[in-house]
Amino acid sequence: MTEMLTLDAFEEASAKVQEVTQKTGLIESPHFSAQTGNKVFFKPENMQRTGAYKVRGAYYKISTLTDEERERGLITASAGNHAQGVAFAASRYGAKATIVMPTTTPLIKVERTQHYGGTAVLHGDVYDEACEYAMQLAEENGYTFIHPFNDPAVATGQGTIAMEIVKELPLVDYILVPIGGGGLATGVSTLAKLLNPHIKVIGVEPANAACMKASLEAGHVVKLPSANTIADGTAVLEPGDKIFPYIQQNLDDIITVEDDELISAFLDMVENHKMIVENSGLLTVAALKHLSFTGKKVVSILSGGNMDVITMSSVIQHGLIQRDRVFTVSTLLPDRPGELVRVAQTIASMNGNVIRLDHNQFVNTNRNEGVELRVTIEAYGTDHKNQIVAALEAAGFRPKLIQAHL
C-alpha cells in the first residue's frame, strides 16, 4: 500500500498541478475563531479554477496516462466538480471527455462541464448509478475511465492541497476535510502524515450519506441503501475500496453533520466572509461547532463553490427562517376598516419589517367572526421575533406562529 502514495509521487503531483491551478492561500477567520476558541483558517478551493479542488486529481491522473489511453477518449462519472475537472484537464491534453452525471446534478455544473469541452450524459439519481453507467459505456466504446475518487493517482493529485497547507501554516494542528467517496481525504490525510505525523486529519460527512463512517466502523467498505442530502457532491453510497486502507491508516476521526447545519454555515460564510461555498464544501465549516478542543490551529478545506442560483436562493430562504430572521404569524381580525393598519403599526413600532401579507376574507362563512391575516415579517433574530409577537398579543391580537414561506 505505501508504495503507491509516496512523498515522491506527491511532490511530482504538486509540481504538475501548478500548471492548471491557481493559488488558494489560507484565509484566517476571526468569526469562527471566536466561536470555537481555535485559530481557524479556510483553504478556499471554492476559488479554484473550475470552482473546486477536483481539477488537481483529474489533471494529475490524465498526465500519467499514455497517449494511446488518452486518444481512446476519456469517461468519468461525477456529481459535477470532478466532471468539470476532467473536462478541463482533457481539453489541455486534446482528449475527448464524456461525463455521466446524476439527473439531480445542479444545472450550473452541467453547463460548466460542457463549457470546458466535456460531453454531459445525465443518468441515475445518485453518483453510484451514474458511475455504473459510465463503466458500461467505457466497456462498450473502449474509453479510458477516470474514477473520481477510487484511484490512488487521483487521490495523489487531490493531496497536493495538504502540501500547500503545510507550506503556508507549518504548525497546523488539525485539517478538516469533506468526504464523499474518500479521494480527497485519502490524499490529504496520507500526505499530512508523511509531512508531519502529529497533524490530525478529521473527515466530515453528511449524516444521511455517511458511507465512510459506516465503513470504518465495520472494518470494511460498506454500501449504504441511500444517500439523501443537500450536499450533492458527497452523496455517495459506497467509498472507494482501493483507497479505503489509506483512510483506515491515516484519518484520525470522522464528524457527521445534518443538512440544517449546512444551511446555517452557508449564511455564516456569505455574511462573514462574502464567499459562496457549495453544500459539500460547507461540511467542514459546519463541523467547526463539533470540535471538542480549543487553542489549536485548524484548517477547514472548502472543497468547492459550484452552487446554482436556484439552490442558493432556497438555502438562503431556509436559513433566514431557521434563524428566525423571517417568520410568519396568523391572526383572526374583525372584518372592519382599520384593523389591517393597526397590525402594521404594531409591527412597525417594534422595528419589524413586513415583507408579505395574505388577507383571506373567506376563512369563515360568517365574516363577522373574523378574517384571517397572515403576515411574513423580517426580524433580527429570535429575541426580536418574540418581542414582535408579544407586542401583537398586547395589542389584543392573537398571533399564531405558522410555517413561514417567502
For Cα atoms 14, 19, 24, give the angle at the middle one, nearest 5 degrees.
Answer: 65
Per the CB < 8 A criterion, the answer to whether 20 and 89 are in contact is yes
Q: Is the pLDDT of residue 2 over 60?
A: no
Mean of all residue pLDDT scores within the chain = 93
Q: Is 33 designated active site?
A: no
Catalytic position from the list 16, 39, 43, 54:
54
Q: Is 43 designated active site?
A: no
Q: Is the pLDDT of residue 153 over 70?
A: yes
Summarised one tens digit per residue, pLDDT across range 91-143 is 999 999 999 998 988 787 888 899 999 999 999 988 889 999 999 999 999 99
Summarised one tens digit per residue, pLDDT across range 54-93 is 999 999 999 999 999 999 999 999 877 899 999 999 999 9
In this prediction the pTM is 0.89
pLDDT for position 1: 40
Q: What is the CATH number of domain 54-145?
A: 3.40.50.1100
Check if 7-52+152-319 and 54-145 are the same fold: yes
Fold of 324-402: Alpha-Beta Plaits (3.30.70)
Q: What is the CATH number of domain 7-52+152-319?
A: 3.40.50.1100
Summarised one tens digit per residue, pLDDT across range 252-277 is 999 999 999 999 999 999 999 999 99
Pairing assessment for the beta strands 371-378 and 326-333 based on DSSP bridges:
antiparallel
Per the CB < 8 A criterion, the answer to whether 56 and 69 are in contact is no
Q: Is the pLDDT of residue 208 over 50?
A: yes
Q: Is the pLDDT of residue 406 over 50?
A: yes
Catalytic position from the list 63, 78, 303, 385:
303
pLDDT for position 125: 87
Coil, helix or strand for 192? helix
| Cell representation of residue 101 | 452525471
What are the residue boundaries of the structural domains of the chain, listed by start? 7-52+152-319, 54-145, 324-402
Q: Is the pLDDT of residue 365 over 60?
A: no
Q: At what angle do helices 160-168 and 183-195 cross, to 10 degrees?
A: 40
